[in-house]
Amino acid sequence: MPQTMTSADLRIHNQVRLLRAVHDAAEPFTRAEAARLLGIGRNTAAALVGELEQARLLHEVPAETSGRGRPTTLLVPHPQGPLAFAVDFREDTWTLAAAELGGAVTELETGEHDRTPNVFAEIRAAVARHETPRLTVLGFATSGPIRDGHRLHISHLGWDEVELGELIGPDWPRTVIDNDARLAGLAEARRGALRGMGTALHFHIDFDIGGTLLLAGDAQRGGHNIAGEFGHMPLSGSTLRCMCGVQGCWSLDVGANALIRRFGEAPGYGAGRELAQEVLRRAEAGDVEAGAALDDNAAALGKGLGALANALDPEAISLSGLGVELIRLRRAVIEAQCVEALMEFRRNEPPQIVAGKLGGAGPLRGAAEVAWDAVLNADWVKARLTGGR
Amino acid sequence: MPQTMTSADLRIHNQVRLLRAVHDAAEPFTRAEAARLLGIGRNTAAALVGELEQARLLHEVPAETSGRGRPTTLLVPHPQGPLAFAVDFREDTWTLAAAELGGAVTELETGEHDRTPNVFAEIRAAVARHETPRLTVLGFATSGPIRDGHRLHISHLGWDEVELGELIGPDWPRTVIDNDARLAGLAEARRGALRGMGTALHFHIDFDIGGTLLLAGDAQRGGHNIAGEFGHMPLSGSTLRCMCGVQGCWSLDVGANALIRRFGEAPGYGAGRELAQEVLRRAEAGDVEAGAALDDNAAALGKGLGALANALDPEAISLSGLGVELIRLRRAVIEAQCVEALMEFRRNEPPQIVAGKLGGAGPLRGAAEVAWDAVLNADWVKARLTGGR
DNA sequence: ACATTTTTGTTCGCGATAAGAACATAACAA
DNA sequence: TTGTTATGTTCTTATCGCGAACAAAAATGT
């Protein structure tokens, strides 16, 4: 029972609702619209916004008039307001960006790295180079599961059980870290192809398949923060043994490894991704063998999606990574196999299978979302309003 | 943006929190404890409770004193307060019960039925026989998916797309209907083996496997209210075709049908359940063939649970129906196969696999929960406080 | 050019809420 | 009997959002 409620908390509560609305909105809205949206009076809205402007959280700019009525103002993030930084930490590169309230993201810096934990110091240095008093919270996207929120398993870097505390020390700004596939899904749910869905799934297809279940715009984390390893269910009938230790994983039939295995290439990271791209190119050019590889990949993908849809009943499923190419080149195969894997009574209403709208920016955008989530709450807003900082 | 908030709504909000706390608590608590629990003052608590007593929602009874201090009162459901009725509608029988705020359930009546939609009229008549002004809402548990909340598919009764509106008319009390496996899971999450878990799974194993994902004590419903058909994912490697229209369903290897298929019995309902019980008895008595059938069942069950745990990362998994017997007789097999299906890095922390605590009462208890859920909200409490009804 | 309509901003008084302080009460303990 | 402890009760106070009335600024109509 956390949320105690006094009259004073009421004010904060409504201010958080207002900030959340501004953050989540696709387009900025006016103060009068905000009052209607929140179901409060215009006078109350004026008071709320006034305090938030004072705290440099919101800013009012004249709205271009449309129709009759007294002109009003648009509610936008304050130009000197708080900033969230977001980091997308990839196999051999990283990107640092700044995200305003409302979701606007500007890239600050990118770099390569040597695959050792030193990269975290590099990233910290990059953050320092762009440091500003506006920096409030940092969202960090990395691949691999993060057990209990603090133990990293990044297999393609050979990091087995790296303690987060040794990488992100007390000299870091307040930091929220999460899995990249999960964050990409969250970004699609908040600002992409899954916007407004009550139940949806997102999968990032690379060498592996990672994903997340999205409920009312929130990514599910599981009991130990390691939910989302959908690629390690036996959904497509493979008999091979997977690197994860399990036999028959879906990931063995879908993604880059499956694509290149048929051409005698060993599964692996690094060069494998280029090989997979080469297979895609050849398939697109009409190469029969490459086309068959693509067909198999798409078929296994569809089969798994259908099975998952039976259990979880998503309104839509979005894909990123290789999934985008698979949809572009083999949508029919995916959908046919998906429907075949659906229980008969569901087949007249299959889940939409769509390409993610955010492309490669998904993890970064998702990192910005969780960073803001960590801050858009009663406690932080209250402190900001009273303390001044 | 629903929840507008005025000072008056604040009172209701806290009263709903209080009612919810009373409803969810395992043991009744005192008014002073309630104040601490909700983080409000003793004076406020007194005012809240006073109004709720007036509205016949709560009742105060003297608490046996423990230690020093002025004696206080225990907060219990009002003896003339609202009642929820709950119905468990099964293959050939039904049960009607009354549920108090707080979850106490008393059975009112049971009956058999002829498997035609007439049974709904019978149940309605039974409700009428026990009708009281206290009756406020009715929860209804039935098997089979209920698409979009109003189209029933109960395959073992041969009901394909029965419109709920034709069964439950305007002469019914306010009614909430849901799937039995889902409700059983909900009941375990609220009052059984899954209590307090953030992420959990429940499966009811009968001829089929139905289940639900439970997040923070709430059962997930999916985009079309038909989530939970976990039995129709290809998790155990079967090559048979399922009655649902899909090949390789998990349900083909787990549950009563799988148990009796090995003895040449056709899958089906009715007598099949007794046959399955007979196999269990023989296995327990030492019959080798029956024991092997049980082994296979348990192995397929464990394999599937492991696969699902990879994707959804539950803290615990509870089972009902045949699952209880499978745990009793073959826990080792289930757990071994589950661990083998888990990704290696998860194996040192496998999900607990537990028997449901509520047994056959699960669906009924769950129906009571969703009935109360429909009523324990600001709108209803507000109406009750002001309107008097 | 001017009145009208429409929408929004602003001001002020009102009723209600929960908090907090002070005190009363009823048990137990020494 | 007296002190201790936990709770109930009463009263005052700061704050909140609402509603009503009015002012302001645009578009519209004549």
Q: Which of B32, B59, B77 is the last residue of a domain?
A: B77
Measuring from the CA of residue A65 to each C1' atom, give the nucleotide at the shortest distance: D26
Residues A229 and A321 in one domain: yes
pLDDT score recorded for residue B270: 65
Chain centroid, CA A59 distance in Å: 27
Structure token digits, residue B123: 């149940």
pLDDT score recorded for residue A8: 84
Nearest residue to A173 via CA among A137, A131, A141, A149: A137
**Closest Cα of chain B to A133: distance in Å?**
32
Where are any strands of DSSP class E within B113-225? Answer: 135-142, 146-147, 151-154, 159-163, 175-179, 199-205, 209-215, 218-219
The residue segments making up the domain with residue B298 are 195-356
Tell me the H-state helices in chain B: 7-24, 31-38, 42-54, 118-129, 164-167, 180-191, 256-261, 272-285, 288-312, 322-341, 362-373, 378-387
pLDDT score recorded for residue A2: 46
Q: How far apart are CA A370 and CA A350, in angstroms?
A: 30
- Whichever domain contains A36, its CATH number is 1.10.10.10
Q: Distance in angstroms, CA of A380 to C1' of D18?
A: 27
Residues B35-49 as b/e (b if ≥16 CB within 10 A, e otherwise) read: bebbebeeeebeebb
Q: How far apart are CA A316 and CA A264, in angstroms?
A: 35
Please state whether strand D lies within 7 Å of residue B42 at its CB atom: yes
Closest partner residue to B307 (CB to CB) among A234, A303, A346 is: A234
| Mean pLDDT, rounded, for A118-138 | 96
A364, A86 Cβ separation under 8 angstroms: yes
CA contacts within 13 A on the Cβ side of B51 = 19
B1–A153 CB contact, under 8 Å: no
Q: How far apart are CA B97 and CA B127, in angstroms?
A: 9
B226–A346 CB contact, under 8 Å: yes
Residues B34 and B59 in one domain: yes
**Closest Cα of chain B to A340: distance in Å?**
7
Residues B261 and B228 in one domain: yes
Closest partner residue to A39 (CB to CB) among B1, B213, B233 is: B1
Tell me the H-state helices in A1-149: 7-24, 31-38, 42-54, 118-129
Residues B210 and B341 in one domain: yes
Structure token digits, residue A125: 């240095």
Does a structural domain hold residue A39? yes
pLDDT < 70 positions in chain B: 1-4, 267-270, 388-389
Higher pLDDT, A69 or B49: B49
Does a structural domain hold residue B190? no
- Whichever domain contains A93, its CATH number is 3.30.420.40
Nearest residue to B350 via CA among B293, B282, B284, B303: B303
pLDDT score recorded for residue A337: 98
Chain centroid, CA A256 distance in Å: 21
Contacts of A343 in chain B (CB under 8 A): 229, 232, 244-246
Measuring from the CA of residue B44 to each C1' atom, give the nucleotide at the shortest distance: C18
Q: How far apart are CA A143 and CA A360, in angstroms?
A: 13
A245–B344 CB contact, under 8 Å: yes
Cα A203–Cα A23–Cα A42 angle in degrees, nearest 5: 145
Residues B88 and B71 in one domain: no
Q: How far apart are CA A232 and CA A23, in angstroms?
A: 35
Structure token digits, residue A352: 């939409």
Closest partner residue to B224 (CB to CB) among A215, A303, A349 is: A349
Q: How confident is the model at residue A252 (pLDDT cuts 50, 70, 90)?
A: very high
Please state whether strand D lies within 7 Å of residue A11 at its CB atom: yes
Exposed (0-12), middle (13-18) or buried (19+): which is B170, by Cβ within 10 Å? exposed
Inter-CA distances, B278 with A203, B260, B332, B359, Å: 44, 9, 22, 20
Higher pLDDT, A219 or A68: A219
Q: Distance in angstroms, CA of A17 to C1' of D25?
A: 29
Q: Distance in angstroms, CA of A67 to C1' of D28?
A: 10
Q: By CA distance, what is B218's nearest residue in A? A: A215
Please state whether strand C lies within 7 Å of residue B5 at its CB atom: no
pLDDT tens, position by position, A299-346: 999 999 999 999 999 999 999 999 999 999 999 999 999 999 999 999
Q: Distance in angstroms, CA of B191 to C1' of C28?
A: 36
User: In chain A, which residues from 35 to 64 place their CB closer than 7 Å to nucleic acid strand D?
Assistant: 39-41, 43-44, 47-48
B202, B212 Cβ separation under 8 angstroms: yes
Q: By CA distance, what is A347's nearest residue in B? A: B245
Please state whether strand C lies within 7 Å of residue A72 at its CB atom: yes
Q: By CA distance, what is A14's nearest residue in B? A: B5
Residues A238 and A205 in one domain: yes
Q: Which residues pair with B203 in a beta bridge?
A: B211, B319
Measuring from the CA of residue B6 to each C1' atom, give the nucleotide at the shortest distance: D17
Does a structural domain hold residue B298? yes
pLDDT score recorded for residue B388: 54
* AA identity, residue A191: R
Q: How far apart are CA B320 and CA A30, in angstroms?
A: 53
Tell me the H-state helices in B178-321: 180-191, 256-261, 272-285, 288-312
pLDDT score recorded for residue A156: 81
Say if residue A289's pLDDT is above 50.
yes
Residues B102 and B124 in one domain: yes
Residues B204 and B291 in one domain: yes
Does a structural domain hold residue B317? yes
Residues in chain A: 389
Q: How confident is the model at residue A134 (pLDDT cuts 50, 70, 90)?
A: very high
Q: Which of A77, A102, A132 is the last residue of a domain?
A: A77
pLDDT score recorded for residue B186: 98
Measuring from the CA of residue A6 to each C1' atom, give the nucleotide at the shortest distance: C18
Please state whether strand D lies within 7 Å of residue B70 at its CB atom: yes
User: In chain B, which residues from 3 to 22 place their CB closer than 7 Å to nucleic acid strand D?
Assistant: 4-7
Neighbour order of strands in the sheet with A209-215: A218-219, A209-215, A199-205, A316-321, A352-355
Residues A71 and A108 in one domain: no
pLDDT score recorded for residue B389: 46
* AA identity, residue A159: W
Does a structural domain hold residue A389? no
| Mean pLDDT, rounded, for A288-293 | 95
**Closest Cα of chain B to A318: distance in Å?**
15
The set of strand C positions with any atom below 7 Å of a protein CB reads: 5-12, 15-21, 24-29
Residues B330 and B241 in one domain: yes
Say if residue A386's pLDDT is above 90.
no
Output the CA torsion sign for A22, A27, A33, A36. Answer: negative
Q: How does strand B58-62 pair with strand A83-89?
A: unpaired
Does a structural domain hold residue A190? no
Higher pLDDT, A347 or A161: A347
Nearest residue to B179 via CA among B132, B215, B230, B135: B230
**Closest Cα of chain A to B198: distance in Å?**
6
Task: Tell me what the pLDDT averaged over chain A comes to.
Answer: 94
Does a structural domain hold residue B189? no
Nearest protein residue to nucleotide D10, judged by CA and C1' positions = B43
H or E stretch covering A203 = strand A199-205
B223–A200 CB contact, under 8 Å: yes
How many residue contacts between A and B have a Cβ separation below 8 Å? Answer: 173
**Closest Cα of chain B to A333: distance in Å?**
17
Residues A105 and A213 in one domain: no
pLDDT tens, position by position, A217-238: 999 999 999 999 999 999 999 9
Q: Which of B23, B45, B77 is the last residue of a domain?
A: B77
Q: Distance in angstroms, CA of B77 to C1' of D3?
A: 37
Q: Distance in angstroms, CA of B44 to C1' of D7?
A: 13
Does a structural domain hold residue A146? yes
Task: Supply φ then ψ for residue A250, to 5 degrees.
Answer: -55, -40
Contacts of A245 in chain B (CB under 8 A): 342-344, 347
Residues A204 and A351 in one domain: yes
| Mean pLDDT, rounded, for A128-132 | 97
Nearest residue to A360 via CA among A206, A251, A250: A206
Per the structure, the count of domains in chain B is 3
Contacts of A140 by beta carbon, 8 Å cutoff, 6+ apart? A86, A87, A89, A168, A175, A176, A177, A178, A367
Contacts of B4 in chain A (CB under 8 A): 38-40
**Closest Cα of chain A to B47: distance in Å?**
14
